[in-house]
Amino acid sequence: MRSVDDLIGEGVSGRRVLLRADLNVPLDKSTREITDDGRIRASLPTVQALREAGARVVVAAHLGRPKGAPDPQFSLAPVAARLGELLGTTVPLAADVAGSDAVARADALGDGDVLLLENVRFEAAETSKDDAERGALADRLATLADAYVDDAFGAVHRKHASVFDVAERLPRYAGRLVARELEVLTRLTTEPERPYVVVLGGSKVSDKLAVIEALLPKVDRLLVGGGMCFTFLAAQGHGVGSSLLEADQVDTCRRLLAEADGRIVLPVDVVCSPAFAADAGSTVVDAAAIPDDQMGLDVGPRTVELFAGELSGARTVFWNGPMGVFEMAPFQAGTRGVAEAVAAVSGLSVVGGGDSAAAVRVLGLHEESYGHISTGGGASLEYLEGRELPGLAVLTD
């Protein structure tokens, strides 16, 4: 797999480079202001390296899930403005993805200039399952540049036109962010330094089942929190009240607990509420004694202490998924406590993107305290599951 630094070493001054970046940032629905620019900042090292080498950078990215047609609420205009601020230059936004305006603006670029194409998902072909449809869009995108760099790790598990097909049509390279993500994930999957502890949260066991199956033989401890813990607690025979429960996964969780032979660690107390609301009141109860009319919305203080103890001696940690509904103040403490324990690990600590990365920022924790914060939750999990990721496979010679 050739890197963007290989491209720069070959000489890129005056050449147009199509850079697929992951700029899918959250926006405030009413103001359309960016609420977390972490992914934009993560793209800067590759963009800056190309600019400084004299490349003419054409950036392709997506935002949200538009329905294959232009939609103002999913325009990349706020992203272009923020990217320009961070780069200290003007980043114009093309009016289309690979149409006449994109072509004209790409042709007019000077050395070190940056152009952002409009949301690639405004083209239905971007996400099409039809190879010919994706290929037609990839042909148009390929005319905009002389080389292709993929730095959108959060999208490499998608077989999309701007991720997979265009890479078949141009000299292709991995960006610095993709290279860093691969370096870290390789360390997690190839002889990780021990003790190796994985922390999984989030709402559903079914979303994490494949990664649990893949990691369980490799880890020393698997700590389970979030909504998914209640299906495990039910598998132990405990009542879970009105907590989130996947009844069809109880037998699977029971099997995993048996196979783990004590290596799966579950909450010992939970923060409960009679309703899914910040103002409904809360109480801390034993995990084995959740009242029938209550729902668990966070792990409790004894669980945070238990999990922190398991993490304290770890040399490798992977954390994916919050411990509770951290968006509501009464149910933040579990995620905060575990996040702080992960940050205190003296070895490699990896935050697996998605809601975990969002929690680090929402809770005001120091990003530099972690060894690596992934930009791709779904891609990270699929890599750890051992699945082939199309966007990475196509970059490999």
Contact present, 270 and 299 (Cβ < 8 Å)? yes
Task: Cite the annotated binding site by residue number.
Answer: 22-24, 39, 62-65, 121, 158, 208, 296, 327, 353-356
Active-site position among 15, 204, 315, 361: 204
Active-site position among 16, 20, 39, 180: 39
Distances 254 to 10, 234, 236, 266, 335 between C-alpha atoms, Å: 55, 9, 7, 13, 25
List, as one string, the DSSP characters of 201-252: -SS-HHHHHHHHHHHTTT-SEEEE-STTHHHHHHHTT---TTS---GGGHHH
Active-site position among 321, 334, 376, 378: 378
Q: Coil, strand, or helix at residue 150?
A: strand
Task: Cite the annotated binding site for ATP by residue number.
Answer: 208, 296, 327, 353-356
Distances 104 to 58, 81, 100, 141 between C-alpha atoms, Å: 12, 20, 6, 13
Contact present, 298 and 331 (Cβ < 8 Å)? yes
Rounded-to-integer distance, Cα 375 and Cα 378, Å: 9
Query: Is 378 among the catalytic positions?
Result: yes
Query: Is 354 among the catalytic positions?
Result: yes
Which residue has 């620019």 as its token pair?
37
Task: Cite the annotated binding site for (2R)-3-phosphoglycerate by residue number.
Answer: 39, 121, 158
* Residue 124 DSSP one-character state: G
Residue 26 — φ and ψ, nearest 5°? -75, 140
Task: Cite the annotated binding site for substrate by residue number.
Answer: 22-24, 39, 62-65, 121, 158
124: which strand partners? none
Active-site position among 324, 354, 377, 391: 354
Q: Which residues are catalytic?
A: 39, 204, 354, 378
